[in-house]
Amino acid sequence: MARVVVDVMLKPEILDPQGQAVQRALPRLGFEGIADVRQGKRFELEVEGPVDEAALARIHEMAETFLANTVIEDFTVRVDEPAGAGS
Amino acid sequence: MARVVVDVMLKPEILDPQGQAVQRALPRLGFEGIADVRQGKRFELEVEGPVDEAALARIHEMAETFLANTVIEDFTVRVDEPAGAGS
Amino acid sequence: MTLDTVKHAEQTPEAEQPWAELGLKQDEYERIREILGRRPTGAELAMYSVMWSEHCSYKSSKVHLKQFGEKAPENDAMLVGIGENAGVVDVGQGYAVTFKVESHNHPSYIEPYQGAATGVGGIVRDILAMGARPVAVMDPLRFGAADHPDTKRVLPGVVAGIGGYGNCLGLPNIGGEAVFDPCYQGNPLVNALCVGVMKHEDIHLAKASGAGNKVILYGARTGGDGIGGVSVLASETFTDKGPTKRPAVQVGDPFQEKLLIECTLEIFKEKLVTGIQDLGGAGLSCATSELASAGSGGMRVELDTVPLRDATLSPEEILMSESQERMCAIVEPRHVDRFMEICEKWDVIATVIGEVTDGERLEIFWHGEQIVDVPPGTVAHEGPTYHRPYARPDWQDALQADDAGRLPRPRTAEELRDQVLTLVAHPNQAAKSWITDQYDRFVQGNTVLAQPEDSGMVRIDEETNLGVAVATDGNGRYAKLDPYTGAQLALAEAYRNVAASGAQPLAVSDCLNFGSPEDPAVMWQFAEATRGLADACQTLGTPVTGGNVSLYNQTGDTAIHPTPVVAVLGVIDDITRRTPIAFADEGHLVYLLGDTREELGGSAWSQAVHEHLGGLPPKVDLERERLLAEILISASRDGMIDAAHDLSDGGLIQALVESCLRGGKGARVVVPDGLDPFVFLFSESAGRALVAVPRSEELRFTDMCGARGLPATRIGVVDGETVEVQGQFALSLAELREAHEGTIPALLS
Amino acid sequence: MTSRIGVVTFPGTLDDRDTQRVVRLAGAEAVPLWHRDKDLKQVDAVVLPGGFSYGDYLRAGAISRFSPVMETVIEQARAGMPVLGICNGFQVLTETHLLPGAMLRNDGLHFICRDQKLRVENADTAWTTDYTAGQEISVPLKNIDGRYVADERTLDMLEAEGRVAFRYLDGNPNGSLRDIAGITNEAGNIVGLMPHPEHAAEPLIGTGRTDGLGFFTSILKKLVNA
Ligand SMILES: Nc1ncnc2c1ncn2[C@@H]1O[C@H](COP(=O)(O)OP(=O)(O)O)[C@@H](O)[C@H]1O
Ligand SMILES: [Mg+2]
């Protein structure tokens, strides 16, 4: 089964209180040099069948109408590389 | 400024009701063929200065001690490709 | 890129300006030019256009709202009246209470979660700005049909938004309303109320006085929120460069607001401010012009000093931004350091952005150049006033003639029983715990009563047990049938609710939700409703202390039902004497107070069983309401009753079922002689309540009612596991509970 | 000498003043502690109250856990000082790993506010001696991140050592594993739970019950007898 990842982030002009709270905490924890933090959502979808153009188009539509609230959020859709760059 | 992305997902054995709620809603919205959905967090960090080994090591530590709670979550750290695969 | 400075405006009198795109009318634009003796700069145009908008200037409603002041009853309790951020009422023992209800209807339709959340945020800052600690919130809501797909988008989002924001602030949600009707499809109503408490000496006003005093902006950084409109201006003025996308939606940060509350209260405690104003609609334009015009008039602001979230904002946009969680304070220079220390303690960003001057102009500078030079009063208060035409719609007669009394009635006991179940299970009468369980009602540890009680009640003094109670009500169906009476019924019901829980009603706030004022029929509804409310407030002796108007709630030509939402605040000397709605004790006697007539127009029965709206709403008798309230309050104070529940939509049977389910006890009632069982159960005659009287108190209670002339009819007894109407039917509590509590979860999950 | 019980305020803490009130009702002195202060002002015990510290951003309790006051609390708690974490305080305690496991979003995904029945499973902790093991009590539950999770091994250990201090009764409200509402550390001085005993301490207020007062009278007795 293939994995498709949908990343949903607040639009740049929209306030991201979570990201801000995280960023403000970093110096206190001894992590300097992070100019900005934005926090969003990551959806991992396990897709049955082939992930072809048509499947991606459907997932795109799903992201647009459901996974993201396009009033305030942007999203990207991509097929996951088989093995991630490990933690 | 370079962007580093930290993805945080619940460990596979931990129940993810948010992902499940999304998955259950999909057929009702007319989207079939998604076998599983997991929902996690995506952090976009704007890093000042070069993103070298040392910087990545620090971000890795930040993820391990702060951005993720490793009792329940796994994470990955990666440098963002300059231009995303567009929505 | 040329900055449109005052000098530039003087030199280019003929420059084209996008006043129409900003919503101004030709004559309004001319008026601005007349006031200034030149064309406005872009920044000035931005300020006037937003402050003279319907939302901020009340240009269509002002002439009608005046009555609230003109007809205001003498009331010694009123400390601050209409015109400030919120009214303030004396509740004794040196305490003052402030409360207000506001709308956030349109934003909540576009983005339910954030729209509702920022609605709560806005009203809380209004209360805070008066000097009070916010102690509770309430949320009167209206949605489209319960089974409409869009309701499944709007309702959960709105509820999560109100909860997400209010819970995080630590404000108990002690009540509200959730009503469904197809007329609100596309125009949900999200009204939010906040109550705050302070000592008399802590009352603060929005006033900038004392030349040399500093203007401090504190709270969140300013971003491009809610300035969709002005981007026109930015693009006109700076054709080549400049930001493109500006969010119309504001995102709230309740954590920031919680810090703002604690920080501000600490600042108040040390008496560091001479004037204060929250930033809400119209942002800095509103705060600076209102503060300046309420004070001596002069203020100078360096706009570059405003901390920004988005460095690309133009000065016009900064002036109009509706970024949330900000406040503006006027501080004497000697207090500035301490003010900043407190802000630092709470991680709140604070910046001196200007000072009060001894002039009479509001002057705003950008990179050293003057971009605004106006008499602040002309921005804040001298907006246009319209006498919009109004006319009783031609369909009103036909609607009133379509009497609900002619609808088919249940013919058998079996049908009567079925219709009782239909009624209590209808979304409008069903239990709302699916909603209210998402709100924290316990936080602050002072909640005496909360939903589903008749009113929300909080203790305000631990030593003396002094408390306040608030109820909000509004019935758009009644108001549609007769807006004058409908508004009075809303007041009467809220008043009755407060009294039923044992508190003395003191003052009123209201949120008037209507369609387009440009429609003479809607304007007539508005005129009638305000007149009705003002008259009734005068009779009941409860002044309107403030409120809000929301117009243009309509889709195409179809307006919502006129929906005046009325909040009544009451005081109770000793919260241990509060009266709950629960029938909890076997053997206690059930009395019906007041008169039951055949009144079914606009009733819940006519909606639940026949989907009908027509006829006349119930009659209002304000003297009777006042008497009923007196009896309810005395009876609670003297321990003569141990439960009371007001009768409103759904009539007697609805109230009986609610009291029984709440107490977990059944009741046996008999239909009084001369009353038709159907009318007895379903009529919605006003001025009534059910009470539970311990047998030992019966004589004392009936004597009191008799002596004061209030009809009190013994209709039954608290008993058993069923609600039984003798000779008609019996319904088990389990069956009633399933019907009453199952509806909303089934619709929404 | 009256016992001194510290109540910590983080930015976004909500139930600090309520907790102080109940500490006083129980007969102890309530000492406010500020998150930026390492100094615990010689208190005999500490309560981490409920609320949304740092807005619950990132994870509930995740940011507060790194505050200066927590450095001292962690150190003292390890040395045996009684610490009670209520709701957000419990979340902070799991984030610090003073208590095992973690708190996640309720399985129903909503905020839940209701009167919740619990069984006191362990009446020997510093905060529960005024209850009896097996006693059923009702106290308000109000949170959105109340689902307790830990791996099987940890859960088995907690059960075996009697460290499940409270369990939900009459239905699991949030999907907490093994119906766990609260736990304790090995020594019994550190207790964390999601429901709010401080909101069940006065007749007529809140639910009108006083089932939660026992937490505060328990600790008081312990301190007085110490
Ligand atoms: N329906 C109303 N009834 C009484 N007073 C009202 C009503 N609508 C608005 N007001 C009063 O007019 C003043 C301005 O209202 P508003 O612009 O909503 O205040 P704010 O800017 O503080 O939100 C306030 O004092 C408010 O209480
Ligand atoms: Mg205001």
For C188-208, what is the mean pLDDT? 94
| Average predicted confidence (pLDDT) for chain C | 94
- Enumerate the residues of chain A whose CB falls inside 8 A of the CB of residue B31: 58, 62, 66
Which of D86, D113, D145, D210 is the best mutation test for C, with the most CBs of C within 10 A?
Answer: D113
Which of B1, B7, B42, B67 is the best mutation test for A, with the most CBs of A within 10 A?
Answer: B42
pLDDT at A87 over 70: no
The protein residue whose alpha carbon is closest to atom 6 in ligand 1 is C547
Contact A18 D58 (CB under 8 A): yes
Sheet holding C133-143: strands in order across? Answer: C78-80, C87-92, C95-103, C189-199, C133-143, C173-180
Does D113 qualify as catalytic in the annotation? no
Token pair 């909540």 in the structure block, residue: C108
- Dump the DSSP string for C237-262: H-SSS------SS----HHHHHHHHH
Catalytic residue chosen out of the listed positions D95, D196, D199, D202: D196
Which long-range contacts does C333-336 make (Cβ < 8 Å, 24+ apart)?
C333/C212, C333/C213, C333/C214, C335/C272, C335/C273, C336/C214, C336/C216
pLDDT at B87 over 50: no
Quick one: which of D49, D57, B4 has its CA closest to A25?
A: D57
Nearest CB partner across the interface for A46, out of B36, B43, B62: B36
Helix (H) or strand (E) holding A41: strand A34-47
- Enumerate the residues of chain A whose CB falls inside 8 A of the CB of residue C258: none
The protein residue whose alpha carbon is closest to atom 5 in ligand 1 is C546
In whole angstroms, give the CA distance from residue C476 to residue C479.
Answer: 5
Q: Smallest CA–CA separation between B83 and chain A, in Å?
A: 11
Is there an interface between B and C (3+ Cβ pairs < 8 A)?
no
For C350-357, what is the mean pLDDT? 97
- β-pairing, C712-718 vs C667-669, is antiparallel
In whole angstroms, give the CA distance from residue A39 to residue D57.
Answer: 10
Does C104 qualify as catalytic in the annotation? yes
Residue C132 pLDDT level (bands cut at 50, 70, 90)? very high
Instruction: With beta carbons less than 8 A apart as the criterion, state whether C666 and C582 touch.
Output: no
Contact B49 A33 (CB under 8 A): yes
For C573-592, what is the mean pLDDT? 97
pLDDT at C19 over 50: yes
Count other Cβ atoms within 10 Å, centred on residue A76. Answer: 16
Count other Cβ atoms within 10 Å, centred on residue C304. Answer: 13
Quick one: pLDDT at residue C208? 87
The per-residue pLDDT for range C232-272, each reduced to its tens digit, is: 554 433 333 334 456 667 899 999 999 999 999 999 999 99
B69 contacts chain D (CB < 8 A): yes
Residue C81 pLDDT level (bands cut at 50, 70, 90)? confident
Instruction: With beta carbons less than 8 A apart as the criterion, state whether A23 and A34 touch.
Output: yes
Contact B58 A31 (CB under 8 A): yes
Quick one: pLDDT at residue A1? 80
Residue C1 pLDDT level (bands cut at 50, 70, 90)? low
In whole angstroms, give the CA distance from residue D114 to residue D29.
Answer: 29
Is the pTM higher than 0.90? The answer reads: yes
Quick one: pLDDT at residue B85? 42
Q: Which atom of ligand 1 is nearest to the CA of C82?
A: 25
In whole angstroms, give the CA distance from residue C483 to residue C528.
Answer: 6
Ligand of minimum distance to the alpha carbon of C514: 1
pLDDT at A86 over 50: no
pLDDT at C228 over 80: no
Contact D57 A28 (CB under 8 A): no
Count other Cβ atoms within 10 Å, centred on residue C646. Answer: 30
The per-residue pLDDT for range A23-77, each reduced to its tens digit, is: 999 998 899 999 999 999 999 999 998 899 999 999 999 999 999 999 899 999 9
Nearest CB partner across the interface for C223, out of A15, A21, A24: A15
For C306-333, what is the mean pLDDT? 94
Quick one: pLDDT at residue C489? 98
Quick one: pLDDT at residue B86? 41
In b/e form, how buried is each residue of C589-614, taking b as 16+ CB within 10 angstroms? bbbbbbebeebbbbbbbbbbbeebbb
In whole angstroms, give the CA distance from residue C675 to residue C596.
Answer: 8
Enumerate residues 6+ apart whose C-beta is below 8 A from C691.
C590, C591, C593, C632, C635, C641, C643, C644, C645, C701
Quick one: pLDDT at residue C473? 98
Nearest CB partner across the interface for B71, out of D101, D107, D175: D101
Q: What is the ipTM of this complex?
A: 0.92
Quick one: pLDDT at residue C242? 39
In whole angstroms, give the CA distance from residue A26 to residue D99.
Answer: 24
Catalytic residue chosen out of the listed positions D87, D95, D199, D202: D87
pLDDT at C18 over 50: yes
Residue among C207, C548, C566 whose CB has most ligand 1 atoms within 8 A, to mutate: C548
In whole angstroms, give the CA distance from residue D206 to residue C660.
Answer: 20
Radius of gyration for chain B, computed over Cα atoms and rounded to the nearest angstrom: 16
Q: Hey, which residues does C718 pair with through a beta bridge?
A: C667
In whole angstroms, give the CA distance from residue D71 to residue A18.
Answer: 24
B14 contacts chain D (CB < 8 A): yes
Q: Give Dmax (Cα) for chain B.
A: 48
Contact A14 C309 (CB under 8 A): no
Enumerate residues 6+ apart whose C-beta is below 8 A from C112.
C153, C154, C155, C156, C157, C158, C161, C188
Quick one: pLDDT at residue C296? 83
Amino acid type, C524 = W
| Measured CA angle at C620 (ends C614, C621), to 5 deg | 160
Q: B31-45, C221-235, C357-371, D59-73: which range is least confident on average? A: C221-235
Give Cα separations from C401 to C494, C511, C527, C609, C649 (angstroms).
28, 29, 22, 19, 21
Quick one: pLDDT at residue C82? 84
Contact A21 D55 (CB under 8 A): yes
Residue percentage of chain C with pLDDT more than 90: 90
Count other Cβ atoms within 10 Å, centred on residue C160. Answer: 19
Quick one: pLDDT at residue C229? 52
- Dump the DSSP string for chain D: ---EEEEEE-TTB-SHHHHHHHHHHHT-EEEEEETT----TT-SEEEE--B-GGGG-SSTTTTGGGSHHHHHHHHHHHTT--EEEETHHHHHHHHTTSSSSEEE--TT-S-EEEEEEEEE----STTTTTS-TT-EEEEEEEESS-EEE--HHHHHHHHHTT-EEEEE-SS-SS--GGGEEEEE-TTSSEEEESS-GGGSSSTTSTTS--TTHHHHHHHHHHHHH-
Quick one: which of C588, C621, C747 has its CA closest to C149?
A: C747
Per residue of chain D (226 residues), what is the pLDDT tens digit? Answer: 689 999 999 999 999 999 999 999 999 999 999 999 999 999 999 999 999 999 999 999 999 999 999 999 999 999 999 999 999 999 999 999 999 999 999 999 999 999 999 999 999 999 999 999 999 999 999 999 999 999 999 999 999 999 999 999 999 999 999 999 999 999 999 999 999 999 999 999 999 999 999 999 999 999 998 7
Secondary structure of residue C85 in the 3-state scheme:
coil
The per-residue pLDDT for range C377-393, each reduced to its tens digit, is: 999 998 899 999 999 99
Which long-range contacts does C654-657 make (Cβ < 8 Å, 24+ apart)?
C654/C423, C654/C424, C654/C429, C654/C604, C655/C689, C655/C690, C656/C590, C656/C690, C656/C723, C657/C420, C657/C424, C657/C723, C657/C736, C657/C740
Contact A17 D55 (CB under 8 A): yes
Instruction: With beta carbons less than 8 A apart as the criterion, state whether C652 and C690 touch.
Output: yes
The protein residue whose alpha carbon is closest to atom 16 in ligand 1 is C548
Residues in chain C whose Cβ is within 8 Å of chain A: 110-111, 114, 220, 223-225, 245-247, 249-251, 253, 255-256, 309-310, 323-324, 347
Catalytic residue chosen out of the listed positions C55, C204, C426, C645: C55
Q: Smallest CA–CA separation between A61 and chain D, in Å?
A: 25
Contact B37 A43 (CB under 8 A): yes
Quick one: which of C524, C525, C512, C489 has its CA closest to C565?
A: C512
Give Cα separations from C283 to B2, C323, C741 (angstroms).
35, 7, 43
For C715-738, what is the mean pLDDT? 97
Instruction: With beta carbons less than 8 A apart as the criterion, state whether C598 and C405 touch.
Output: yes
Helix (H) or strand (E) holding C745: helix C733-748
**Sheet strands (E) in C182-270:** 189-199, 214-219
Give Cα separations from C165 to A41, C162, C421 (angstroms).
20, 5, 35
Does D198 qualify as catalytic in the annotation? yes
Question: Could you tell me which chain D residue has the CA closest to the CA of B18?
Answer: D109
User: Would you state the structure tokens that stand for residue C464, as one six-digit string?
Assistant: 């003396």
Q: What are phi and psi of C103, to 5 degrees?
A: -110, 150
Q: C23-27, C370-374, D214-218: which range is least confident on average? A: C23-27
Exposed (0-12), middle (13-18) or buried (19+): which is D122, by Cβ within 10 Å?
A: buried
Q: Smallest CA–CA separation between B17 and chain D, in Å?
A: 5
Count other Cβ atoms within 10 Å, centred on residue D2. Answer: 12
Sheet holding C350-357: strands in order across? Answer: C275-278, C326-331, C214-219, C350-357, C298-302, C362-366, C369-374
B 17-56 residues with CB below 8 A of D? 17-18, 21
Helix (H) or strand (E) holding A22: helix A17-28
Question: Could you tell me which chain A residue has the CA closest to the CA of D11?
Answer: A21
C-alpha C623 to ligand 1 mean position (Å): 28
- Enumerate the residues of chain A whose CB falls inside 8 A of the CB of residue C323: 15
The per-residue pLDDT for range B42-86, each reduced to its tens digit, is: 999 999 989 999 999 999 999 999 999 999 999 999 998 664 444
Task: Kindly list the protein residues whose Cβ atom lies closer than 6 A to any atom of ligand 1.
Answer: C 56, 65, 68, 82-85, 100, 126, 280, 510, 512, 544, 546-549
Q: Smallest CA–CA separation between A46 and chain C, in Å?
A: 25
